[in-house]
Structure 1
Amino acid sequence: MESSDAELDLQRSVQAVLRELSPQAPALQSNQGMWRWSLHKKVERDPGKSPVLVRILLRELEKAESEDLRHVIIPLLHTLLYVLTKATGITEELYRRTYNFCTRLLTLPAPYCTVALDCAIRLKTETAVPGTLYQRLVIAEQNLTSELYPYQERVFLFVDPELVSPSVCSALLLEIEAAQVQQTPEACMRHVVSHALQAALGDACHTSTLQSKLKACPRRALECYFHAVVAAVEQMASEPNPSREGHLERLEEIYYWLLGPAAAARGRCCGDPLKDPQPSIPLPSPHISFHLWTDEEQLWKELVLFLRPRSQLRLSADLEALDLQGLWPDRELARASMLSTDSGIERDLPMGADELPVPGSPEMERAGLQRKGGIKKRVWPADILMPACWDGPQGLHRRTGLPSGDGGMLPGVSRLHTARVLVLGDDRMLGRLAQAYHSLRKRETQKFCLTPRLSLQLYYIPVLAPEEPATSRHSELQELAAFLGRADPWYQNTVNTLCPAIHKLAEMPPSLDTSRTVDPFILDVITYYVRMGTLPIYFQIYTVKIFRDLSQGPAEDIFLTELKVDVQDSRLLKDGFSPRRKGAAEAPGAELSICYQKALLSHRAQVVTGSLRATGLVLKALPTSDTDGPGPPHAPHSAAPVTDHTCLNVSVTEVVKSSNLAGRSFSTVTNTFRTATFQIQSQDQRLLTLLLDKDGRRTYRDVVRIEVAPCPEPCSGTHKSRTSWLGSHQPEAEGTRAKPKPLLMPINTFSGIVQ
């Protein structure tokens, strides 16, 4: 009876999560995102419910597959994989059913097949070697030293103190510190050992006795048990055909070694799952470092400090051979191979030391003309200029892709470090992140300091300052978050709904009762996002050339979401009309000459030039409605939207002059068009004011001319020399010359873009 009640309770929670994803059901803003969190908490408090929840989720997935309810497949897959990562006691038959289901989903289009493939790869190892996912996750996130699994991860939480209130900053910091106090290295090693033994032995493992024994162990003995378990799991997982029976035998030896044969047998006989339920083994939250973003170079500095302690690095032999701190790609990495001078003919082989040629002989004459060594050939590896983990597809931000993992830049070199950079704020904070990302990429063209070692993943949680009212200004500052919510419905339900909860948490007084256990809701959602959000959406970064004097060079800056141009000292029209005055000078705004390239589906270069009188204009890099974006989240699969290419949406407030019997009057009309590049210049004495990414700190005044274009990928000296060499040896037409690759900034979501 109790088991059926527990199953019904879990079934109701799963149905509540699915109702939130339904486009017909109205979503309650106060409860959005809570059902998923409460579902995972139920299993965390009672681990015995994990197999029941896995069966329920698998049944719902099979139902979604048969009824073609694709909008729930990715959320259910993420929920299922998150449960399996922490669960123990899952039967091999249940693992195989889940694996077979994921393989059936590989026939679906992206992103469904992409998420299903990732789940299938993880489940294949977990089926043969239970506990592998948990062990690897804890080792990487807690930076535990392991020779067999040397990967390390860290979450960098950046908050702009000018955009987020101090109460929110202090609340987040207190929650992070409270969680990390309990996550000492010793506690994490105990969790790894207990989880691995319980996952392999099942009911034969008396977890209470095991945990008591581990707590009483000194640090040195605990490390021995930890390394023994890690070695058993990793060595078995690395085999081409791992045997579950062999894995069980190896962990039984460790279990008897730890408890002793008599204690282990007594615990196995006395352990009754009904009377003595298995205690919960928590999955520690990742190591999160909290930073107030006050320095423009702060992101670069923190990433370098993350890699600096060489004594803790376990790099591959190829990477250790490189002097990464002083590495110049044009002088070192380009010399990757040498052409052999061996002809294969026996008489051309070099003579031994005792076979000296006779003076005046043909051999001596050839030795004088012989070229020393070999011909050094410059070789540019395919990914040396564009790191694989930062690469993105060609096109607009509405394209998605997979992070390329650990390899990809140099043969034999692995990126053992993963930096998950999470920013809190609004579109202004993302503008600062784009600046830091662009600066970091430019640095990497000079010295490959981070690229060979680091996989950089970017995350975003929208949080508005409390002084911002819930009006049109509210929505203006969250345009990118709204786009991510339309593109990925699971991001909308899980992340976009965090903003009210964060402010409510900040307003609550701190709890003085330290003995009471409090579930850290915000930290748990952040942890779920950075762990399961693996598919990025790429956003185009745009560069702006700003001329204050046409006789001098321009200043350069970038923007990610919006560029606003206003005419200085121009009167805004009231109700669309101006007071009647004489003379042409009464007209508001300024005379502007514009030149832009139309954004066409054919990608043909069609340049439009003209002049008009306007009071201002706005350039947006994001679509303003669902018709311009990726489509409704639950729309059926169809062709790509017509705007799926790099373009800017330009809105110009044009001044229209009209004459009637009452005199001359002026009205305004808004014209919109799409463009790939844009140039504008003031033709009279009126100067322009620029506002980048809605951030008042990034304002340029007294501007005469601006030029906007997609920001190109920063090029190193190697790329420039290669381009010039190819240009001199390949006389092709100007139109066939390769265009520079655009710089795209990835922001991770759960599924990328769901059409």
Structure 2
Amino acid sequence: MEGSDVELDLQRSVQAVLRELSAPALQSNQGMWRWSLHKKVDRDPAKSPMLVRILLRELEKADSEDHRHVIIPLLHTLMYVLTKATGVPEELYWRSYTLCTQLLTLPAPYCTVALDCAIQLKAETAIPGTLYQRTVIAEQNLRSELYPYQERVLLFVDPELVSASVCSALLLEIQAAQEQQSPESCMRHVVAHALQAALGEACHAGAVHRKLQASSHSDLEHYFHAVVAAVEQGAGEASQGLAGHLERLEETYRLLLGPAADVAERCTGDPLQDQPPGIPLPSPAITFHLWTGQEQLWKELARVLRLPSQLRLSAELEALDLQGLGQARSPGPERSLARESVLSADSGIERDLPPEAEEARAPRSPEPERAALRRQGGVRKRLWPPDGSASGTPGLHRRTGRPGRDWELLPGVARVHTARVLVLGDDRMLGRLARAYLWLRKQESQDFCLTPRLSLQLYYIPVLSSQEPTVSRQPELGELATFLGRADPWYQSTVNTLCPAIHKLAEMPPCLDTSHTVNPFILDAITYYVRMGTQPIYFQIYRVKIFSDLSQEPTEDIFLTELKMKIHEPKPPKEGASPWRRGAAESLGAELSLSYQKALLSHRPREVIISLRATGLVLKAIPTSNTEVLPSNSVLGFPHCPPVAASAMDHTCLNVSVEEVVKSCHLAGRSFSMATNTFRTSSIQVQSQDRRLMTLWLDKDDRHTFRDVVRFEVDPCPEPCSRTPKSKMPWLNPQEQKAMEKTKAMPRPLQMPINTFSGIIQ
């Protein structure tokens, strides 16, 4: 195929991807165009520069014509190609970097994604092959002192919500792909990619490939560490990093080929032999887990930090690892708490402190609490927040943002472990994940042993079970996935379309022969999502206090998407009964007392108390549409606000729908009808006034059903706080101290982040 035909074919594929974003309802194979585009480059790496030029032209066109909906998908596609490519001219790298810096003038989330791409492009332009090498080392958990960062993808599937055939198909596909990528093959890919990216045409790719295949394990490790050292040292040099980098890689190249290096440079041979073989980007190491309970998440994250392949950086990190993980113990409230003192035992006078040199020579204490403290001006301070808060912008309800900077454990050392937790299922699975997330945060507020060393990233792929008794319930169980698809069109095109493909994979007969090369679409889509999905959307977790007896302590639970309440009906009215029969309205529903905080844009507190007769009530934390407006009328004292888009609400709010029984009187007698009233609130209390009992369903999950309820209260779930004692400030009077303690005692709401490609696009 000639160059013009190849370029035309790639241009058509890119246009198909963009058309899919403009009219997703008209596309029958959503998500396949992006996959096929990447596969074309994987089969023929020489097409990479041509595809990069096409993507840059489309990005410049989208920026000039203000077609913002395609900017983020094009940026992600561009970065994915540049991470794998080896023959891209330096001019295209600089052009890509310049374009990303120009996009920083756009509003969020476009500028946020463009900034991430610009940072990566700057590193790749300085030292070619940096992104590929770091990605493989982290995802495959390869040992490296110069780049110690490790990643692990944990795939959770609940067998109660996802069929056994789907679980088996996913497990077989993951195993088939990972059996073909051993640590030795990954090291070969890193060495070959680094040499080709740096030396370009001067590298005889075929000879390098054959030599690496014939190398022993010890020689292969030697080449691997030499290449990693060359790349990381070049990235760390402020000036002349590329020149020193090329010298080091040329030395490794000649050491690898030996006397054949000079011959290889002059070798013209068969063009097919000289053609560079494609270097794949291995899929990340994925572990498959069946969901058993909320404590399983904590246990699996603890196992990530206890992996024998994890490298200990120093004595300080070794001592820190002993805190909470050095001894095998089961999570629970019976665990002993670490010492929470934040003040040193010395006088704090400068002349009483030992010299810095003497303190540096002093042996480090292996005790966890001493390893977790550092001297600063006579006061020893912890290097992480005492309230157990994890990384991530505090963010408000459904607000997006980049994760916060990692808390430094030691000077110059940040978190080296990343756990990417990917869950499959429907809204019920997300409700169970929210409970596990809250349980994890409670454990961390007591021991705080995972959060300082582990960055937790949450991902979600909706899979609606085809075995549901009612097909009409499937859209109801996928409300959060629908919201994510509206908020992020690239998520809708890439992730939300995987459900039919996963069910088709489960229907196919399993292939037990894993010797042949697999080309898995599902695994490639999952890999693309966990690599490029870096922008979180924060969802508020709500706490529910449930009273079965007002004289006893309530039961507490949480929900993420929905709370549904129904009144126990002793005997429903007969079909065809007279609507104006005396007492019919009184026998339907129950008298409810509602007390709620009205959601106002001004943030001014306004409490509303009303009584009405209703048959049911639904609280939804997810809006039904991005442009959902508040009702313009009010019925029976229900408040209303000016119309405002749900995405513009910058505070937590619940959408409340009440099925009210409306009574009316006329000449023929009394009659009643049903009316649905809606309003927004940040917290609400509901109590039955006429001894009618209520039934609650949380997150549409039958596991979390509560019957015989007389009262329930809903408010944002607070962030779990540690048991750090409050320090007294003698220079404050008692009133000021009490006011300060009250301010500190107000925890912020707990929000669970779910990663997407761009966050919420307005």
TM score, norm. by length of structure 1: 0.89
8 Å CA contact 1:565–1:688 kept in 2: the answer is yes
Structure 2 partner of 1:15: 15
Q: 1:727 to 1:127 in 2, by over 3 A?
A: farther
Distance, in Å, in 2 between the alignment partners of 1:601 and 1:271 is 73
The 2-side partners of 1:754 and 1:618 are apart by 27
Flag the 1:552–1:270 CA change in 2: closer, same or farther, 3 A. Answer: same
> C-alpha separation between the residues in 2 aligned to 1:549 and 1:724?
45
Query: Does the 8 Å contact 1:105/1:113 carry over to 2?
Result: yes
Shift in Å, 1:550: 1.0
Q: Residue in 2 aligned with 1:349?
A: none
Does the 8 Å CA contact 1:337/1:379 hold for their aligned counterparts?
Answer: no
The residue that corresponds to 2:759 in the other structure is 752
Secondary structure in structure 2 of the residue aligned to 1:698: strand
Match of 2:193 in 1: 195
Instruction: Supply the distance in 2 between the matched residues of 1:571 and 1:433 (Cα, whole angstroms).
Output: 38
SS at match of 1:526: helix
Structure 1 equivalent of residue 46 of structure 2: 48
Residues 101 and 583 (structure 1), Cα distance of their counterparts in 2 relative to 1, 3 Å cut: closer
Q: How does 1:100-111 map to 2 (within 5 A)?
A: 100-111=98-109
* Alignment gaps of 5+ in structure 2: 326-334, 353-374, 631-643
Over 3 Å counting, the alpha-carbon distance change for 1:731 and 1:723 in structure 2 is closer
How far apart are the structure 2 equivalents of 1:749 and 1:727? 49
Q: What secondary structure is seen at the aligned counterpart in 2 of 1:312?
A: coil
Following superposition, the deviation at residue 728 of structure 1 comes to 4.7
Structure 2 equivalent of residue 325 of structure 1: 324
Instruction: Assess if the C-alpha contact under 8 Å between 1:206 and 1:271 holds in 2.
Output: no
Q: Residue 577 and residue 376 in structure 1: after superposition, are their counterparts in 2 closer, same or farther (change >3 A)?
A: farther
1:208 Cα deviation (Å)? 2.0
Q: Pick closer, same or farther for the CA change 1:724–1:169 going to 2, 3 Å.
A: farther
1:730 Cα shift? 2.1
- Distance, in Å, in 1 between the alignment partners of 2:411 and 2:724 is 19
State whether residues 165 and 465 of structure 1, in contact with CA within 8 Å, keep that contact through their aligned partners in structure 2.
Answer: yes
| 1:489/1:298 CA distance change after superposition, 3 Å | same
Q: Secondary structure at the match of 2:702?
A: coil
1:727 to 1:2, Cα distance in 2 relative to 1, 3 A:
farther
**Paired residue secondary structure (1:400):** coil
C-alpha distance in 2 between matches for 1:515 and 1:182: 8
Q: 2:710 aligns with which of 704, 715, 721?
A: 704
* Residue aligned with 2:244, SS: helix
Which one of 81, 84, 88 corresponds to residue 83 of structure 1? 81
1:65 deviates by 1.3
Instruction: From the superposition, tell whether residues 727 and 131 of structure 1 become closer, same or farther in structure 2 (CA, over 3 Å).
Output: farther
Provide the residue aligned with 2:169 in structure 1.
171
Q: Which moved more, 1:722-731 or 1:405-414?
A: 722-731
Name the counterpart of 2:750.
743
State how far apart, in whole Å, the 2-side matches of 1:271 and 1:724 are.
Answer: 85
The code of the aligned residue for 1:434 comes to A
Residues 279-314 of structure 1, C-alpha deviation per residue, up to 9 Å, x if partnerless?
Answer: 111110000000110223111111111112467332
Q: Secondary structure at the match of 2:696?
A: strand
Per the alignment, do residues 585 and 640 of structure 1 end up closer, same or farther by CA in structure 2, a change over 3 Å counting? closer
Shift of 1:724: 13
SS in structure 1 opposite 2:267?
helix
Q: Note the C-alpha offset of 1:548.
A: 1.0
* Displacement of 1:126: 0.8
Preserved contact between residue 689 and residue 702 of structure 1 (Cα < 8 Å)? yes
CA distance in 2, matches of 1:495, 1:558: 27
Per the TM alignment, residue 706 of structure 1 is displaced from its structure 2 partner at its CA by: 0.5
Tell me which residue corresponds to 1:462: 462
Q: State TM-score, norm by structure 2.
A: 0.88
Match of 2:678 in 1: 672
Could you tell me which of 138, 141, 158 is aligned with 2:139?
141
Deviates more, 1:257-266 or 1:639-648: 639-648
SS of 1:89's equivalent?
Answer: coil
How far apart in 2 are the matches of 1:725 and 1:139?
Answer: 53
Q: Which residue of 1 aligns with 2:695?
A: 689
Partner of 1:358: none
What is the total number of aligned residue pairs between the two structures?
717
Contact preservation (8 Å) 1:400, 1:535: yes
**560-569 vs 532-541, which moves further:** 560-569
C-alpha deviation, 1:642, in angstroms:
4.1
State how 1:328-347 maps to structure 2 within 5 Å.
331-332=339-340, 334-335=342-343, 340-342=348-350
Task: List runs of 5+ in structure 1 lacking aligned partners.
Answer: 345-372, 631-637
Identity %: 70
Q: 1:392 corresponds to which residue? A: 393
Deviations 1:120-171 (Å, cap 9, x if unpaired)?
Answer: 1111111121111111100100000111111110100000101111111111
Distance 1:726 1:552 in 2: 39
Quote the Cα distance in structure 1 between the aligned partners of 2:747 and 2:576: 43
Contact persistence 1:329–1:718 (CA under 8 A): no
Cα distance between partner residues in 2 of 1:722 and 1:394: 30
Q: 1:213 offset after TM fit, Å?
A: 1.2
Q: Does 1:535 align with 2:535?
A: yes
In structure 2, the CA distance between the partners of 1:662 and 1:483, relative to structure 1 (3 Å rule), is same
Describe the superposition over 1:166-186 as per-residue Cα deviations: whole angstroms up to 9, x where unpaired.
111111000000000011111
Q: Which moved more, 1:222-231 or 1:577-586?
A: 577-586
For 1:656, the equivalent position in structure 2 comes to 662
**Superimposed CA distance per residue, residues 412-464 of structure 1 (whole angstroms, 9 cap, x where no aligned partner):** 55211000000000100000000000000000011011011100000000000
2: CA distance, partners of 1:668 / 1:542: 28
Structure 1 residue matching 2:697: 3-state secondary structure = strand
Aligned to 2:722: 716
- 8 Å Cα contact 2:593-2:610 kept in structure 1: yes
Contact 1:598 1:605 in 2 (8 A): yes
Matched, 1:218 2:225: no
| Structure 2 counterpart of 1:430 | 430
CA distance in 1, matches of 2:719, 2:539: 13
Residue 658 of structure 1 aligns to a residue whose secondary structure is: strand
> What aligned pairs does 1:227-306 form with structure 2 within 5 A after superposition?
227-266=225-264, 269-270=267-268, 276-306=274-304
Q: Distance in 2 between matches of 1:86 and 1:383?
A: 38
CA distance in 2 between partners of 1:575 and 1:82 (Å): 62
Separation in structure 2 between the aligned mates of residue 95 and residue 624 of structure 1, nearest angstrom: 42
Greater shift in the superposed pair: 405-414 or 418-427 = 405-414
Q: Which whole-Å CA distance do the structure 1 matches of 2:301 and 2:728 have between them?
A: 30
Give the residue type in structure 2 aligned to 1:120. Answer: A
Encode CA deviations 1:195-249: one digit per residue, 9 max, x unaligned.
Answer: 1111111122122221221111111111111111111111111122353232112
Question: d(CA) in 2 for partners of 1:334 and 1:57?
Answer: 53
Q: Report the more deviating stretch, 598-607 or 374-383.
A: 374-383
Contact 2:383 2:408 in 1 (8 A): no
* Matched position secondary structure for 1:441: helix
Partner-residue secondary structure (3-state), 1:448: coil
d(CA) in 2 for partners of 1:688, 1:284: 53
Corresponding letter in the other structure for 2:493? N
Correspondences of 1:372-383 after superposition (within 5 Å): 383=385
Post-superposition Cα deviations, 1:319-351, rounded to whole Å, max 9, x if no partner, equal 33434228988734623796632479xxxxxxx
User: 1:418–1:457: 8 Å Cα contact kept in structure 2?
Assistant: yes
Question: Is 2:650 the partner of 1:644?
Answer: yes
Deviates more, 1:169-178 or 1:406-415: 406-415
- 1:370 counterpart residue number: none
CA distance in 2, matches of 1:548, 1:538: 32
* Number of the residue aligned with 2:28: 30
- Show the counterpart of 1:157: 155
Tell me the C-alpha RMSD between the 2 structures. Answer: 3.1
Q: Which moved more, 1:535-544 or 1:256-265?
A: 256-265
CA–CA separation in structure 1 for the residues paired with 2:388 and 2:324 = 19
Q: Which moved more, 1:238-247 or 1:733-742?
A: 733-742
CA distance in 2, matches of 1:746, 1:400: 9
Q: Tell me how far apart the structure 2 counterparts of residues 14 and 556 of structure 1 sit (CA, whole Å).
A: 51
Q: Distance in 2 between matches of 1:745 and 1:245?
A: 46
